[in-house]
Structure 1
Amino acid sequence: MEDILRPIYQERTSHPNTLGALLVEQSNKFSPLTDTFDIVLFLVVKEAEEPVFIKHYSYKDQKAALHVVTEEKLREWILLGSNRKVIDWIFNGKVLFDRNEFIQNLKIELRDFPFYGRKIKMGLEFAKLIRRYMDGKVFFESKHYLDAYNHIVHSLHHLARLSVIEHGFHPEVTVWNQVKQIEPEIYKLYEELVTSDEEIDKRLELLFLASEFLIHSRMKVASEHLISILEQKEYWTFQELLNNEGAKHYSVDLSMMIEYLTDKGFIEVVDVETKGQGIYHRYYRVKK
Structure 2
Amino acid sequence: MEDILRPIYQEWASQVNTLGVLLIKKNDQFASLSDTSDAILLIVVKEAEYPVTVKHYTYQEKNAALHTITKLQLNEWLRSGTNRKLIQWLVKGKVLFDRNEFMSDLKNTLMEYPANDRKFKMGIEFSKLICCYMDGKIYFEDQQYLDAYSHIVRSLHHLGRLSLIDKGLHPEMTVWSQVKHIEPEVYQLYNELVNSEEELGKRLELLFLASDFLIHSRVEEGTSYLFDVLKRKDMWTIDEVLKHPSLKLYEAYFETLFEYLIEKHYIEVVHIETQEQGIYQRHYKLAEKLLQKNN
Into which bin does the TM-score normalised by the smaller protein fall? Answer: over 0.9
Task: Report the AA paired with residue 213 of structure 1.
Answer: F
1:21 shift after superposition: 0.7
Query: Which residue is 2:247 aligned to?
Result: 247
What residue number does 2:169 align with? 169
Tell me the TM-score normalized by structure 1. 0.96
Per mean C-alpha deviation after superposition, the further-off stretch among 273-282 and 20-29 is: 20-29
Give 1:29 deviation, angstroms. 10
For residues 221-265 of structure 1, the C-alpha deviation after alignment (integer angstroms, 9 at most, x for no partner) is 111111111111121111111111111111211111112111111
1:249-288 equivalences in 2 (<5 Å): 249-288=249-288
In structure 1, C-alpha distance between the alignment counterparts of 2:147 and 2:121, rounded to whole Å: 27
Letter in 2 for 1:87: I
The alignment's TM-score, normalised by the length of structure 2, stands at: 0.94
Match of 1:62 in 2: 62
| Deviation for aligned residue 1:189 | 1.3
Mapped partners of 2:29, 2:90: distance in 1: 21
Corresponding position of 1:185: 185
Question: AA paired with 2:13?
Answer: T
* 1:25/1:39 contact within 8 Å kept: yes
Match of 2:33 in 1: 33
- The amino acid of 2:116's aligned partner reads Y
- 1:221 corresponds to which residue? 221
- Determine the structure 2 residue equivalent to 1:81: 81
| In structure 1, C-alpha distance between the alignment counterparts of 2:72 and 2:21, rounded to whole Å | 16
Q: Which runs of 4+ in 1 moved over 4 A?
A: none
Distance 1:38 1:180 in 2: 30
Cα RMSD of the aligned pairs, angstroms, is: 1.4
Report Cα offsets for 1:57-111 as digits up to 9, x if no partner: 1124111110011111111111111111111111111110111111111111111
Residue identity (%): 56
Tell me the equivalent position of 2:208: 208
Measured against aligned partners, the alpha-carbon deviations of 1:152-183 in whole angstroms (never above 9, x if no partner) come to 10000000000000111111111111111101
The one-letter code sitting in structure 1 at the alignment partner of 2:283 is Y
2:42 matched to which residue of 1?
42
Give, in whole Å, the separation in 2 of the partners of 1:196 and 1:27: 34
Partner of 1:151: 151
SS in 2 for 1:235: coil
Displacement after TM superposition at 1:287 (Å): 1.8
